[in-house]
Amino acid sequence: MSKRHRIKLILVTNLLLVLSGCSSWGVAPWDRDLLAKPEMALNSSPLDQSIDDHIYFSKEASSGGRSFAGGGCGCN
């Protein structure tokens, strides 16, 4: 199997897993005590994230994924 096909297969499998699982996943509104805490937010440390993105953008060839990839700087 070529690399491209393997990637596609992984993608589709993941997507199906997520979609099939979603209907039974989740909590009622009154069970969100832990999820509602600020430190459980997906990006709970935006300052760190912004700094990490900047550092890795300027030191590595890949960027983005979690958020947009463009760095907006020369970063030599």
Partner 1 sequence: MQLNKQAKKIRDNNQLGEKLALAAAALLGTTAHAQSNDAEWNFSTSALGYSESDRVSAAELIFTADKAYGDAALLNLKVVLDSLTGASANGAIEQNSIQTFTRPSGKGRYAIDPNTTPLDDTFKDTRVQINASWSDNFRPDLRYTIGGNISKEYDYQSLSVNGEIAREFNQKNSTLSLGVSFASDQVSPEGDIPLAFSSMVVDQGQFANEGAYWDAFNATRIENSDSITTSELLVGWTQIVNRRMLMQFNYGYANTNGYLSDPFKVLSVVDSTGTTQDLVYENRPDSRAQHSLFALTKYHLDKSIFDISYRFITDDWDINSHTIDTHWRFLGDNNSYWEPHFRLYQQGAAEFYQPFLSQAEAVPGLASADYRLGDMTAFTVGLKYGFQLDGGDRAEIRLEYYKQTPNEANQPDGIAGLENLELYPEVDALILQFNYYF
Eight-state DSSP code of residue 15: H
The residue within the footprint of partner 1, chosen from 1, 2, 5, 47 (CB under 8 A), is 47
In the set 9, 14, 16, 20, which binds partner 1 (CB under 8 A)? 14
68 φψ region: left (φ > 0), alpha (ψ -120 to 50), beta (else)? beta
- Cα 52 to Cα 54: distance, rounded to the nearest angstrom: 5
Cβ atoms of residues 71 and 54 within 8 Å: yes
Tell me if 1 contacts partner 1 by CB under 8 A. no
Which chain residues interact with partner 1 by CB under 8 A?
A: 7, 11, 14, 18, 21-23, 25-29, 31-35, 37, 39-40, 42, 45-48, 50-51, 54-56, 59-70, 72-74, 76
